[in-house]
Structures are given as C-alpha cells and as structure tokens.
Amino acid sequence: MVKFEIQKVFCRTSARIALLLLLAVLGVTCFLAMDVSYINENGDRESGPAAIAKLKAAQQEWSGELDEEQLRRVIRENRRIRESPEAQADNLQMNDIAYSRGQGIREIRNLLNSSYAEGFQEYDYYRADSLTEEDAASFYTNRVKLLADWLDVDVKDQFSDAEKKFLLRKYEELETPFSIDYMKGWTQLFEFAPTIMMVTILILGYLVGGIFSNEFMWRSDAIFFSARNGRDQATAAKIKAGICMATVIYWAVLLVYTAAVLLYLGGEGWACPVQADQSGWKSIYHITVLEKYLLIAAGGYIGCLFISALSMLVSAKTRSTVVAVLVPFILIFIPSFLANINSPAVARLLGFLPDQQLQTGRLLGMFNLCSLGEKVTGAVPVLLGLYTVLAVVILPVIYREYAGKEVG
C-alpha cells in the first residue's frame, strides 16, 4: 500500500518535474560550493583540483596546535608579507602576488582579526596588520574579554545574570590552545547547506501536500473511504508514504551534496573545534567540525519531517493541495520578514520557529538560549528535541483527522 501511494504521487508529471528541478538545484549548489580558487606566485587565479591541492598544501604548512609560538610565527609572517614591495605597490597584480604568499595563514589571520577586534561585534580585515609578536599571548583571553565587555555594556539588558554567567562560563571552558588545519571543504559545505535544505523541503512540501487532498480532487474519496481498509490501513499507508519520501529524498540529496563537496575539496580538519574557523569563533558549543556537520544534518532532517508532517496535516484538514503546499513557503520565508522588526522579544521568538532547524549551522554561532530559573542552556539541543516530539505527535493527529473524514 505504501508503494502504491508513492507511485500515485510520482504518476503526476508535475511531481517528476519537481524532482528534476531539485536535481538541477543540487547540481548548481554543488558547483557554487566547489568554486574555490588559488592565487599563484604570479598573482593569477587558478581553479580546479590542482589549485585545491596547492591551497591545501599551503594551509597545512601552518596546521597543528595554535599556541603562542605558532601565533608569533603567523604575526611575523604576516608582517613580512605586508611590508614586502609587492604589498606596498600601487599595482593590483603585484598586490595579488603578495596575497598569494599569505594564503597559508589566511584562516589564522581571520582569527587574529576576530580576537583583537575593537569590539565583540566588530571586524576589521586589516586589524592583524597592526599586531606585534607580544600580542600573541592574549589571543585566547581576548575572546573572553570581548564577550564580557559586550555583555556589560552593549547588551546589558538583553540577557539575565544567569545567562551572562552561562555565556562567560562556556567561553572560559574552551580548551586552549586548540588545533587548526585545512578546513575549506567543511566551510564550503556549511555555507551552502541551508540553501540545499530549504529547496529540498520546498519540493517535499509540494510532493506530500497532495497525498491526502488529491483523493477529494480526483473525486475518489467515496471509493477510498468505503473500501474495507480505507479508513485504517490505507490512511496509515499515506502517512508512511509521506515519511518515506521525506526521509529518502532528504538523505539522498544531503549525502550526494556532502560527498561531492568533500571529495573535491577534501575532508581534512574534521577533528578541529568549530572555534578554529572564523564562522565558529564565537560559538558557545564545544564540538568538533564533524559534530557540527552531524548536528546540521540531524536538524535539517527533523525540520524536514516536521514541515512535511504539517503539510500533510493541512492537506488532510483542508482537502486543499494548494493550501498544504503553501505551508513550507510560509514557515521558511515569513520569519525573514519578521526579522526586520527591531525587538528582542521578536528575535527570541524567531529563534524557535521551525525554519531554524534548517539553519542549525548558523545557530551554533549565535547566543540563542533557553532559561528556566537559574538553569540555562543553548537553544540548539532544545530545538532538536522539541521538533522531534512535535513531528511525532502530528502523525496520529493526521491519522485521526483523515480517517474520520466524511464522504462528499
């Protein structure tokens, strides 16, 4: 019965076109994620596997424990490049030659810019150029100090005392010095993951949105509900079909995307802490890059199940495929408009909407918190648990709603 329900979905030409569109978006997203270049010693841009190999080799020369001695070496090398005739020249090609010499320390240089920024929310690309080797000693302590100053001045009324203590404690508990390695494969993978997840869920919303309502559109509801197992096994088969499609399509798309990007760019750096990359420098979560990927994958899947289940519930309730298909669009895009409202309360509310499950990677770098008295925790594990429960709870509601429908 489940197989038959899936066949009914894909017997429609529009459903097959939707899958082709998803494959096209997957291909374009993989291309964009793999678009990484290397500037050679002549200042010319190179791309392709050979360029990736050169970039990887350059950055792995500086991999290892990012301790004070290593930071001194990076600051010294950055100063040498900055003071070179090529860097000082008023010629773009010469400037690119100087830039090519700093590609190995580029990611560490970004961390220096973040650690020695004038403020917690500020970033100056040239900040590392003004550092001296003596500054290296305060690299990790600056991270905590910037947060403390920000909490005491800029957002002193935004967080409770318990939340401030929690944030500072998480920063202080980070094990330092940490290791760093070439991580371009993972950073590119994380950057485009929300895009491919959102498109996948929009397509899935279209596919599952008609599972229940199409019986009414095709005028086959009288036959369906009058059949011997129409109100029990057939209804359950529809739910299972929706879950199967969401599961298979989501994981197929994500795994193909992951394999394509990591096989091309490399999966090195998986054991580094997320703080070893600029995008995760402010994270309160003490996890590795691989663990971040697993959380992103799990969050996307849970969000996919929840939104798909909600679409099926709306389809069963309203008997309208159009309304059911609109559910993913509303849940994904409406929060973007509400984000323009300058209100801490609205910002906190938006942090718990289902679209956040598709942006778990971004949430890992934000200060979305859940508080209950003096107990404080990050929002990511709460969201994962909350939407897992909601997705499971919706399924019997769908069954009761559809199985109890009246014919006509």
Q: Note the pLDDT of residue 143.
A: 95
- Identify residue 394 by its one-letter amino acid code: I
Q: CB within 8 A of 23, min separation 6: which ones?
A: none
> Is-contact 391 306, C-beta < 8 A?
yes
CA-to-CA distance for 188 and 258, rounded, in angstroms?
10
Query: What is the C-alpha to C-alpha distance for residues 341 and 336, in angstroms, rounded to an integer?
Result: 10
Torsion sign across C-alpha atoms 281, 283, 286, 292: negative
Q: Report residue 214 as tokens.
A: 């199409």
How far apart (Å, rounded) are the C-alpha atoms in residues 62 and 53?
Answer: 15
The answer to whether the beta carbons of residues 293 and 271 sit under 8 Å apart is no
Instruction: Please state whether 353 falls in left (phi above 0), alpha (psi between -120 and 50) or beta.
Output: beta
Beta-bridged to residue 288, according to DSSP, are 273
- How far is it, in rounded angstroms, from Cα 303 to Cα 128? 40
Amino acid (one-letter) located at 11: C
Beta strands 45-47 and 64-65: pairing type? Answer: unpaired
Q: Where are the beta strands (DSSP E) in 278-374?
A: 369-372
Q: What is the pTM of this model?
A: 0.91
Q: What are phi and psi of 375, to 5 degrees?
A: -85, 125
DSSP 255-300: HHHHHHHHHHH--TTTTSBGGGSGGGTT-----BHHHHHHHHHHHH
pLDDT tens series, the chain, 408 aa: 677 677 777 778 888 999 999 999 999 999 999 999 999 999 999 999 999 999 999 999 999 999 999 999 999 999 999 999 999 998 999 999 999 999 999 999 999 999 999 999 888 999 999 999 999 999 999 999 999 999 998 888 888 899 999 999 999 999 999 999 999 999 999 999 999 999 999 999 888 887 766 655 555 544 455 555 555 577 788 888 889 999 999 999 999 999 999 999 999 999 999 999 999 999 999 999 999 999 999 999 999 999 999 998 888 888 788 888 888 888 888 877 776 777 666 777 777 788 888 889 999 998 888 888 789 999 999 999 999 999 999 988 887 776 655 545
Backbone angles phi, psi at 288, to 5 degrees: -90, 170
The reported pLDDT for the residue numbered 222 is 43
Q: Are 183 and 271 in contact (CB under 8 A)?
A: no
- The residues that bridge with 35 in the sheet, in sequence order, are none
So what's the pLDDT on residue 100? 94
Q: What is the pLDDT of residue 259?
A: 97
